[in-house]
Chain A
């Protein structure tokens, strides 16, 4: 079955620690995205990548980093510089250039900083 997987489902982190969230897709999509969702805030874009080895900052990139070494994978690192990292993180993908702009989402990772 094609889809997007995220792991772990729940993650706890101590203040001052970096943590990496995994996102993998087997849809053969070119573009991948990371969003953060807070209660009452909707989805806010952190980073996105249109092709392998290329990525751009979204609206709230500070304190986060990403890599795109493989088409299937787009891991997000939440660094200690992120002041308020507790949130629900969603990864998404789209087919690519000429796509219908429909984004398909993974199940999310809930990060809690203790």
Chain B
């Protein structure tokens, strides 16, 4: 059975801090790993990672994949209160092009 495990499950920081969110996976026939940000409603897509060691960056957010150690990290620098959200990590399940296995998410709270 495929598994995606995120840590920590929750995190509280102050504005300006840098945070690192972790996602480890055990997925047969691994193809990709995705990060989503969920504020109050629909998760919004952040990154898709397929290759080891290549950093993806969008503003203050960046992410990298390690296919040897089977994990990914999501970094947020100079955090702002608007970064407060649940961050979800997911990977397409083995045997299916469509079914995603999600982690439980990391609830990030950024205090002013």
| Interface size in chain B (residues, C-beta < 8 A) | 23
When the two chains form their complex, are residues B103 and A33 in contact, meaning their CB atoms are under 8 A apart? no
When the two chains form their complex, are residues A31 and B98 in contact, meaning their CB atoms are under 8 A apart? yes
CA distance A48 to B41 in the complex (A): 20
Cβ of A50 within 8 Å of any chain B Cβ, yes or no, is yes
When the two chains form their complex, are residues A108 and B41 in contact, meaning their CB atoms are under 8 A apart? yes
Nearest chain B CB to A46 CB, angstrom units: 11
**Per-position binary interface string of chain A over residues 83-108, scored 1 when its CB falls under 8 Å from any chain B CB and 0 otherwise:** 00000001000100101111111111
Contact residue among B32, B42, B48, B103 (Cβ-Cβ distance under 8 Å from A42): B103
Cβ of A61 within 8 Å of any chain B Cβ, yes or no, is no
Cβ of B88 within 8 Å of any chain A Cβ, yes or no, is yes
| Interface size in chain A (residues, C-beta < 8 A) | 26
Q: A41-B104, A43-B102 are in contact. Are A102 and B97 (CB under 8 A)?
A: no
Cβ of A58 within 8 Å of any chain B Cβ, yes or no, is yes
Contact residue among B31, B42, B45, B103 (Cβ-Cβ distance under 8 Å from A90): B42
Q: Which of B14-44 contact A (CB under 8 A)?
A: 31-32, 34, 36, 41-44
When the two chains form their complex, are residues A101 and B42 in contact, meaning their CB atoms are under 8 A apart? no
CA distance A13 to B19 in the complex (A): 40
Q: Which of A6-58 contact B (CB under 8 A)?
A: 31, 33, 35, 40-45, 48, 50, 58
Chain B residues with CB below 8 A from A41, complex form = 104
Q: Give me the interface of B with A, judged by CB distance under 8 Å.
A: 6, 9, 31-32, 34, 36, 41-45, 48, 88, 90, 92, 97-100, 102-105
* CB pairs A–B below 8 angstroms (18 shown): A33-B98, A33-B99, A40-B104, A43-B43, A44-B102, A50-B98, A90-B43, A94-B98, A99-B97, A100-B32, A101-B31, A101-B97, A102-B45, A102-B48, A103-B34, A103-B45, A106-B42, A108-B42
Q: Give me the interface of A with B, judged by CB distance under 8 Å.
A: 4, 31, 33, 35, 40-45, 48, 50, 58, 90, 94, 97, 99-108
